[in-house]
Amino acid sequence: MHNGGMHNLSIEDLAKDYSIDGRTLPVLRDISLQVRPGEFLSIVGPSGCGKSTLLRLIAGLDREFSGSIRFQGEPVLGTSLERGLVFQDHRLFPWMTVAQNVALAMRNSGLSAAEQSGRVEAHLELVRLSDFAKAYPQQLSGGMAQRAALARALVNKPKLLLLDEPLGALDALTRVRVREELARIWMHEGTTMIMVTHDVDEAVQLSDRVVVMDARPGRIRHVLEVPVAHPREHANPLLQQIRESLLSELMNTTGPRAT
């Protein structure tokens, strides 16, 4: 179905340094990763493993790195409407209504005004916020704001959606709801998704594959397959097993000093 070996995103020997007070700090080393079209991939790892940095590099927000990042065969040199990004904090503009925020994403899409307003409507419906089109972000709950941000990221119909701990700022109950929403949208739209998270449960529940990273410098420890069909039951014994092994593995990556 996903036309054979064609990769959506291909990362080869990626390395990234930060320069702090003239000293070079390695952030990412030897990152190589192939992402298939339509795949849901999660990246987990201890804090400081550079997972958010990796996502920013793929988004094209950060352009300083060595190695190569190719999206659909083309090197990534900057941001693109083909690659959407959802931040951990929703980052809606407080001076715009929900509908205006979503419409802003299409400012340079080349779509006609009628097409744009049609898409705003459709995507607000997709995230179940149609009744809040004219509301200001201030009036939304955390979960609603994050769903609005999701609509904004999806409205250009990106081929790749990058999610930087999109559920991290939400309370436990809202988190589960928005997670289910995300799974539903992913199945509905067929968009390739890469999600950075520190929540093992979330990663296993949503992903086809989970990338486990080590810290200082950030590198890929290994990639875990989650061979369970969607939609998934949370109580599925195989998911349960994968969750547990992943959790114990992450305990190890935090280092032997941990007590």
Partner 1 sequence: MAAMTKASHWLRPFYVPVLLVLAWDVLSRVNDSFRYAFVPVREISTGLQEILISGQLFENLLASLQTTCVGLAIGTVLGLLVGSIMGVSRIADDIISPLFNAWRPVPTLGFVPLIALWFGSGDLSKLVIVVLAAFEPVVLNTYEGLRASDDKYREVGDVFRLNRRQLFFSVQLPSAVPMIVTGVLHALGFAWIATIGCELLFTVGPGLGGLMEHAQMAGRMDIIILCVVSIGLAGLAMNTAVEWLARRLLRWRHA
3-state secondary structure of 149: helix
Please calculate the CA angle 49-92-58 and round it to the nearest 5 degrees: 35
| Paired tokens of 230 | 């969607």
From the list 34-42, 104-112, 170-178, 195-203, the region that binds partner 1 by CB under 8 A is 104-112
List the x/- string, 148-177, binding to partner 1 by CB under 8 A: --------x---------------------
φ/ψ region of 91 (left if φ > 0, alpha if ψ in -120 to 50, else beta) reads: left
**Nearest distance in Å: CB 138, partner 1:** 5
Q: Is 68 in the site for partner 1 (CB under 8 A)?
A: no
Residues β-bridged to residue 16: 28
Size of the site for partner 1 (CB under 8 A): 24
**Closest CB to partner 1 among 132 and 186?**
132
Number of Cβ atoms within 10 Å of the Cβ of 68? 13
Element (H, E) at 17: strand 9-20
Q: Is 80 in the site for partner 1 (CB under 8 A)?
A: yes
| Paired tokens of 160 | 């790749």
Q: Is 79 in the site for partner 1 (CB under 8 A)?
A: yes
- The CA distance from 188 to 204, in Å, is 19
Q: Is 84 in the site for partner 1 (CB under 8 A)?
A: yes
* Binder of partner 1 out of 139, 245, 252, 254 (CB under 8 A): 139
Nearest to 124 by CA among 88, 162, 97: 97
Q: Is 18 in the site for partner 1 (CB under 8 A)?
A: no
Q: Is 124 in the site for partner 1 (CB under 8 A)?
A: no
**Residues at the site binding partner 1, with contacts judged by CB under 8 A:** 59, 61, 79-81, 84-85, 87, 89, 91, 93-96, 104-105, 107-108, 135-139, 156
